[in-house]
Amino acid sequence: MSDEQQVLILGGGLSGLSFAIALAIEEPTLDITLLEAHPFRSGTPNPMDTRGSALNLHSVELLTRWGLWSALESHSGVIGDIHVSHRGHFGSTVMTAGELEVPALGYVVENHELGRALLARAEQLGVTVRAPVRCVALVADAEKPAVQTDDGERLTADLVLLAAGVAKEWFEGLGIGVEERPTGNHAVVFNASFPGAQQGRAFERFTPHGPLAVLPLPSLTRSEQRFNVVWSVSDREIETLGSLDSEAFISAFQAAFGWRLGRVSNVGQRSQWPLVRLVASEQYRSGFLLVGNAAHTLHPVAGQGLNLSLREAGMLASELAMAVRKGRRIGQLGSLNHYLTGAIEEQHFITRSTDLLATLFNRRGPLLDAPRNLSLALLDLIPAARSRVANLGTGQRTARNSVG
Ligand SMILES: Cc1cc2nc3c(=O)[nH]c(=O)nc-3n(C[C@H](O)[C@H](O)[C@H](O)COP(=O)(O)OP(=O)(O)OC[C@H]3O[C@@H](n4cnc5c(N)ncnc54)[C@H](O)[C@@H]3O)c2cc1C
């Protein structure tokens, strides 16, 4: 048997590619293959993805270590401060990078730019990327974990990372339970331009329909500032919004967001995302490890899903590099226990904080206005509460964890 250990990654979304890169950098002896069901177009297997990712400082640190940030920085919007407000109510609060003594609260990169950079880096590092190849079955009862592809191929590896997003049927096949809470909401995501040049400010606005995040992107012209918008609405409202032409949609968005950036001059292509909240009961079984959205799918209100996956990619890569150095098989539970303990602790913290924000700010009705107003007031008054929310954004709680 050759000493080279093999990793198979199922799913070439942002998580799958990030894990591939982290592993290739931290343990170059690994033989890594990634299978993606869709062809990569415009840097992503989903060319309809109009989302941007708000990346915290810990994620930027990791992307720098993985040799990616220098290519991404010029495509990123800087979040210097966050303006939090509640529609129909006076008052707002601003959290600034200065008060936390950090250069920025985070950075926003469009997913297609991020996907393009991750794919190029993975290939440059020698990861074998195969697309389109769809996996149709998992084989968990053999000596090593294996997957069956749609063209009848059977591929085995020492460790298989399931990075295929929400793929519940597979978890059941592996005997892994899934806790799923329907949110009854969708997000509509699009880029919007405003005249003027207000740079560096993100907005989180709580409306009766759900949270609305407006995140800065780099400007294409001097006279207009671009933002990526994540607008959460109920499943019923998403149908109405989806049927609006561009002019009517701009009016609806302007009414929900208000005029703090002036008149919306343009909106780009819109995409819709069901807001599923899902946590797998276990993350490892017989050489298969769930990662990314497959392990935890969160409400996007705090922009944490990908940040959590990047952190876990860094943690897993360090653990596997250590296992290889000690001559251990990487797919065995003994090599993954430390990673699983750390990852699950991070997931609990992020999931609880995200759920709290989503619940607090997503309810309707006058009775719930009081706690909501109170929470904005608290954010303004209590430095500890402000820094807890802001730290969730910057990823500082976990910055104590070493990057590698
Ligand atoms: C509206 C919205 C906004 C968000 N904003 C942020 C943010 O600002 N910051 C942040 O950190 N996170 C954010 N997130 C979360 C973040 O987008 C995800 O965590 C991230 O995209 C990682 O997803 P993934 O790669 O795990 O899964 P996916 O994106 O679902 O990728 C899974 C991949 O697996 C492939 N696949 C599926 N089945 C198979 C198969 N059988 N064989 C082969 N391949 C297969 C799919 O084609 C797909 O490419 C947001 C999420 C939403 C919904």
Q: How many residues does the chain have?
A: 404
CA of 369 to the centre of ligand 1 (A): 33
Measured by CA distance, the residue closest to atom 48 of ligand 1 is 13
Cα Dmax for the chain: 69
Using alpha carbons, select from 199, 125, 158, 147 the residue that is nearest to residue 37. 147
For residue 347, tell me if it sits in a domain: yes
pLDDT at 162 over 50: yes
Contact 19, 292 (CB under 8 A): yes
State which of 9, 15, 203 you would mutate to test the pocket of ligand 1, scoring each by most atoms of that ligand within 8 A of its C-beta.
Answer: 15
CA–CA gap between residue 202 and residue 175 (Å, rounded):
42
User: Between 35 and 369, whose confidence is greater?
Assistant: 35
Long-range contacts, stretch 114-118, CB < 8 angstroms, 24+ apart: 114/14, 114/43, 114/53, 114/72, 115/14, 115/17, 115/40, 115/42, 115/43, 115/44, 115/45, 115/49, 116/42, 116/43, 116/44, 117/43, 117/68, 117/71, 117/72, 118/14, 118/17, 118/18, 118/21, 118/68
How confident is the model over 89-100, as pLDDT tens digits? 556 678 888 887
* Token pair belonging to 332: 């065995």
Mean pLDDT score of the chain: 85
pLDDT at 326 over 90: yes
CA of 184 to the centre of ligand 1 (A): 19
Radius of gyration of the chain (CA): 21
Q: Exposed, middle or buried: residue 247 (CB in 10 Å: 0-12, 13-18, 19+)?
A: exposed
Q: Is 315 in the pocket of ligand 1 (CB under 6 A)?
A: no
How confident is the model over 221-242, as pLDDT tens digits? 777 899 999 998 988 899 999 9
Distance of CA 190 to the CA centre of its chain: 16
Return the minimum-mean-pLDDT range out of 6-15, 208-217, 318-327: 208-217
Return the minimum-mean-pLDDT range out of 62-76, 82-96, 382-396: 382-396
Q: Is 233 in the pocket of ligand 1 (CB under 6 A)?
A: no
Strands 106-110 and 76-79: antiparallel
Instruction: Give the model's confidence band at 397: pLDDT under 50 very low, under 70 low, under 90 confident, else very high.
Output: low
Give the angle 285-317-14 at the CA atoms, nearest 5°.
80
User: Between 196 and 259, whose confidence is greater?
Assistant: 259
For residue 354, tell me if it sits in a domain: yes
- Give the pLDDT score at 168: 77
Q: Is 115 in the pocket of ligand 1 (CB under 6 A)?
A: no
For residue 342, tell me if it sits in a domain: yes
CA of 372 to the centre of ligand 1 (A): 30
pLDDT at 8 over 80: yes
pLDDT at 381 over 80: no
- Give the pLDDT score at 383: 47
Measured by CA distance, the residue closest to atom 41 of ligand 1 is 135
Using alpha carbons, select from 191, 192, 188, 216 the residue that is nearest to residue 203. 216
CB count, 10 Å around CB of 205? 20
Distance of CA 307 to the CA centre of its chain: 6
C-alpha to C-alpha distances, 231 to 216, 275, 368, 401, nearest whole angstrom:
15, 11, 20, 32
For residue 331, tell me if it sits in a domain: yes
CA of 312 to the centre of ligand 1 (A): 15
For residue 339, tell me if it sits in a domain: yes
Tally of structural domains, the chain: 1
State which of 51, 296, 351 you would mutate to test the pocket of ligand 1, scoring each by most atoms of that ligand within 8 A of its C-beta.
Answer: 51
Q: Atom of ligand 1 at shortest distance to CA of 59?
A: 11
Q: Is 211 in the pocket of ligand 1 (CB under 6 A)?
A: no
For residue 30, tell me if it sits in a domain: yes
Q: Atom of ligand 1 at shortest distance to CA of 54?
A: 8
Amino acid at 284: Y
Measured by CA distance, the residue closest to atom 35 of ligand 1 is 11
- Give the pLDDT score at 378: 45
Return the minimum-mean-pLDDT range out of 32-46, 159-173, 376-390: 376-390
Instruction: Give the model's confidence band at 126: pLDDT under 50 very low, under 70 low, under 90 confident, else very high.
Output: very high
- Give the pLDDT score at 400: 35
User: Between 394 and 160, whose confidence is greater?
Assistant: 160
Q: Is 316 in the pocket of ligand 1 (CB under 6 A)?
A: no
Q: Is 162 in the pocket of ligand 1 (CB under 6 A)?
A: no
Distance of CA 131 to the CA centre of its chain: 22
Q: Is 32 in the pocket of ligand 1 (CB under 6 A)?
A: no
Q: How many Cα atoms occupy the beta-carbon half-sphere of 177 within 13 Å? A: 2
Question: Which residues on adjacent β-strands are paired with residue 187?
Answer: 232, 273
How confident is the model over 76-117, as pLDDT tens digits? 999 998 888 776 655 667 888 888 788 898 999 999 999 999
For residue 26, tell me if it sits in a domain: yes
- CATH number where 319 lies: 3.50.50.60
Helix (H, G, I), strand (E, B) or coil at 197: coil
Helix (H, G, I), strand (E, B) or coil at 52: strand
Containing structural domain, residue 284: 6-53+62-75+111-180+276-373
CA–CA gap between residue 225 and residue 216 (Å, rounded):
8
CA of 10 to the centre of ligand 1 (A): 12
For residue 226, tell me if it sits in a domain: no
- Give the pLDDT score at 382: 42
CA–CA gap between residue 45 and residue 40 (Å, rounded):
4
